[in-house]
Structure 1
Amino acid sequence: MKKIGIVILNYLAYEDTLECVESIFAQDYQDFEIVIVDNASYNASLEILTKKYQDTPQVHIISTSQNIGFAKGNNLGIQYFREKEIYNLLVINGDTILTQNDYLKNLMSLNISNDVAMIGTKIIGRDGKNQNLSNRRDNDLQSIVKMEKYFKRVKLLSTLGIYGIISRLVRTLKPAVENKKEEDKLETQLVDTKSKMLHGSAIFFTEIYLKKYLGFYPDTFLYEEEELLACICEKLSLKQMYVDSLSIYHKEDSSSDMVSGFNKRKEALFKLRYQLENIEILKGAIQMSPQQMRKKMEQ
């Protein structure tokens, strides 16, 4: 089997990243390399991680001079591996733990067709529920316009200082127009990306995809990465695959927990800012031709 590269984006929550890496080293499958991208953490993350892994040849640390966001941060790690001609990459949040010791071995043993670009597995959250798969909400212009109106209303309430209302509306960044993911038991399947998408906390990018394309859609700073990956697959006639037999644990929102010093109104406005910016990005992506999307992702 081929070597697998693992990308972990760290922002502030180095303790979670350390635990995540520890779970990777407990795997049966040891033919891997890890790159940790520290996204300009303003605490001691970079120093602690660098010191911890300075004598561990399988772990590489990259740091950014400023916070470049989720997509660009992960793409930096992806590009590191592409330059080393390692194209089978697991991109995971630092607040995930590989709880199955054969997770990597079974992931690398999967038989996939030559149009599968991304693979997701069961992702168990703190509530014990599976976070995969999610329903798409932004797969057409009408849905995006509806979401845009929603966020503008919420932003107006926020600027008026009516936080008691907006805190309930924007509690987890999931607007009212989004359908909740189904709780039905899932099976291993190809994902219909017109209506479903993989959860972004743990995605395996195949060499079929990464030998040609960047990784994540590069224009967002935060949020909507999963929607854009589904859009990319649609435009480029590629597939996403969900494997129910493999499972990973997701603690969720550790970086957000670390910035508790933000007052609640400021935090809500921060989230809304990026959601509204992403509306325009989503509009542009959905209206792209396959040729335009291919050019965008090959850059």
Structure 2
Amino acid sequence: MCAWIVILNWNGWADTIECLETVFRSDYPSFRVVVCDNDSQDGSLEHLKAWAEGRLEARVPGDNPLRALSFPPIRKPVPYVEYERAVAERGGDPAASDLPLVLVQTGANLGFAGGNNVGLRYVIARGDGEYVWLLNNDTVVRPDSLRQLILEMRRHSEVGIVGSTLLYYHAPDTIQTLGGASYNRWLALPHHIGALQSANLHIPTHEVTARMAYVSGASMLVSRDFLHDVGLLSEDYFLYFEELDWAARAKGKFEL
């Protein structure tokens, strides 16, 4: 069973192209990528197709410390198929099932949950996804990121959702969060675990998970069983708190 990577785009094709350059370097042996576009008005889908066809490169300055994650460019073309939302949510065209990249026009700005759910419905309808990685389009990833996330989930059968160590793009020696956040119910405020600490900081995994109320939405690996038992992201939230809601609904069924 393959892993699927779902990336949501809204007027951010330049970030998405850089993200895709890193994602397609992943060393996990079997994965495919779905990019859901929330009705961007900046020509995003045309730019993404130009990138896949080898007519456009990622815009990463030569002095960017993370440039090595996305350069030199991967081999093009990257075969792709494009769907409207209704077709995608039915699982798309079986004849195009092996293509590595799927581009979906959602038709409206559905928000974080709504846009990602279009991609999740596509994967569920296909029935061949053991894992789904929801990944923000303004991220870049190491080649081993997907493999390490899946290994962590396989080590712990009770876990349904796994997060990543996130570093600041413009300050990659500084932690944004160690996978997720704690949450103060009285103040309704999250606290990102490890925030603003050195990237060399080491906190044992069990200590991180003991403090974690939810996994950061920038990078969430979920299992097929999690999607079946907990369901999709709640579209009651247009932006923010979707991850907290997902974690709350998973309580008693899965660990983080």
Same fold? TM cut 0.5: yes
The structure where helix makes up a greater share of residues is: 1
Identity of aligned residues (%): 25
Spell out the pairing of 1:225-240 with structure 2 (5 A cutoff).
225-234=242-251, 236-240=252-256
Give 1:62 deviation, angstroms: 0.6
1:95 paired to 2:144: no
State the partner residue of 1:77.
119
Q: 1:11 to 1:239 in 2, by over 3 A?
A: same
Contact residue 115 and residue 238 of structure 1 kept, 8 A: yes
Counterpart CA distance in 2 for 1:226 and 1:186 is 22
Query: What is the one-letter code of the residue matched to 1:97?
Result: V
Contact residue 16 and residue 94 of structure 1 kept, 8 A: yes
State the partner residue of 1:191.
209
Spell out the pairing of 1:1-299 with structure 2 (5 A cutoff).
2-53=1-52, 55-56=79-80, 57-85=99-127, 86-99=129-142, 101-110=143-152, 111-126=154-169, 127=171, 128-132=174-178, 133-138=180-185, 143=186, 146-147=187-188, 177-179=189-191, 181-182=193-194, 183=197, 185-189=202-206, 191-192=209-210, 196-234=213-251, 236-240=252-256
With a CA cutoff of 8 Å and minimum separation of 6, indicate the structure with the bigger relative contact order. Answer: 1
TM-score (norm 2): 0.70
Give 1:201 deviation, angstroms: 0.2
Q: 1:211 to 1:87 in 2, by over 3 A?
A: farther
Q: 1:30 to 1:21 in 2, by over 3 A?
A: farther
Give 1:25 deviation, angstroms: 1.4
Counterpart CA distance in 2 for 1:65 and 1:116 is 34
Q: 1:25 to 1:137 in 2, by over 3 A?
A: same
Counterpart CA distance in 2 for 1:223 and 1:197 is 12
The structure where strand makes up a greater share of residues is: 2
Q: Deviations over 1:80-132 (max 9, x none)?
A: 11111113000000011112x22222333333333311001211113321412
Query: What is the one-letter code of the residue matched to 1:109?
Result: L
Moved more, 17-26 or 102-111: 102-111
Runs of 4+ aligned residues of structure 1 deviating over 6 Å after TM superposition are none
Give 1:66 deviation, angstroms: 1.2
Structure 2 stretches of 5 or more lacking a match?
A: 54-78, 81-98
Give 1:214 deviation, angstroms: 2.7
Contact residue 6 and residue 120 of structure 2 kept, 8 A: yes
Structure 1 stretches of 5 or more lacking a match?
A: 148-176, 241-299
Q: CA RMSD in A?
A: 2.3
Contact residue 75 and residue 214 of structure 1 kept, 8 A: no
Counterpart CA distance in 1 for 2:45 and 2:162 is 30
